[in-house]
Structure 1
Amino acid sequence: METIYDVLKEEHEQMSELLRQALQDGSRVSFFKVKLKADPHMMGEERIFYPVLEEVEELRELMSQAHKEHNEAKTLIFEIEGMEERDEEWAPKLTELKQIIDLHIAEEESIVFEKARNILSPEKAEDMAQQYIEFKRSYMNRIETGGPVV
């Protein structure tokens, strides 16, 4: 059975590929594919994965940093969303977004996941994967039906 680490790592790989594509073609369509992957991913981490780790004193600062990185990415996504491809800041902002997300992914996979593995039982990691998948399924359903995304 998949663990939360497996699910997040797979999504990180998808995100990196979508970001590469967006930088390569510079299109709004490619950017919105990144946004559609990033928004529920970050929200799912913040609701399912991070709160459990924040309960551990020694991980609070690390998780605070993860939240800051998410906020930086969300801010950039919001800025890019309001731009046109022809804007002179379009490509530099996409590059900055890729750098922030790549750094976050590297830190999360090498530091956060390793520390979490020492805290979470394999069963808990599997349970979290299921919770995360269900959260994302519900989130995407609300997007498709025009419901509130809370």
Structure 2
Amino acid sequence: METIYDILKEEHEQMSALLLQALQDGSRVSFFKVKLKADPHMMGEERIFYPVLEKVEELRELISQAHKEHNEAKTLIFKIEGMEERDEEWTPKLRELKQSVDHHIEEEESKVFEKARNILSQKEAEDMAQQYIEFKRSYMNRIETGGPIV
């Protein structure tokens, strides 16, 4: 059965590929594919994955840093969202977003995941994967139906 690490790692790979595509073609369509993947991913991590890990003293600083990195990515996404492709800051901001996200992924996978594996049992990691999937399904349903995002 899939664990939370498997799902997040797969999404990280998808995110990196989407960001690379956005940088290569410079299109708003590609950027919005990034946003559509990033928003529920970050929210899911913040609602399902991080709260459990924050309870562990040795992970608090890493999770605090992960929250800061998410906030940086959200700020950049918001700025890019308000730009046009022809804006002179479009490509530099996309590049900055890619660097920020790549750094976050590296930190999360090499530090957070490794420490979390020593704390969460296999069953807990599998259960968390299911909770994460359900959260994202509900989130995407609310987006599609125009419901509130809580």
Partner of 1:52: 52
Partner of 2:108: 108
Report the Cα distance in structure 2 between the residues aligned to 1:42 and 1:63, rounded to whole angstroms.
12
Any idea what the Cα deviations from partners look like across 1:108-149, whole Å, max 9, x if unmatched?
A: 011100000000000000000000000000000000111111
Q: Does 1:95 align with 2:95?
A: yes
Instruction: Give unmatched runs, 5+ long, in structure 2.
Output: none
Instruction: Give unmatched runs, 5+ long, in structure 1.
Output: none
Question: Normalised by the size of structure 2, how large is the TM-score?
Answer: 0.99
Any idea what the Cα deviations from partners look like across 1:38-85, whole Å, max 9, x if unmatched?
A: 000000000000000000011111100000000000000000000000
Equivalent residues in 2 for 1:1-150, closer than 5 Å: 1-150=1-150
CA RMSD of aligned residues (A): 0.4
Query: Identity over aligned residues, as a percent?
Result: 89
Question: Normalised by the size of structure 1, how large is the TM-score?
Answer: 0.99
Give 4+ residue runs of structure 1 displaced > 4 Å after superposition.
none
User: Counterpart amino acid of 2:50?
Assistant: Y
Any idea what the Cα deviations from partners look like across 1:76-115, whole Å, max 9, x if unmatched?
A: 0000000000000000000000000000001101110000
SS in 2 for 1:7: helix
**How many aligned positions are there?**
150
Report the Cα distance in structure 1 between the residues aligned to 2:16 and 2:57, rounded to whole angstroms.
31
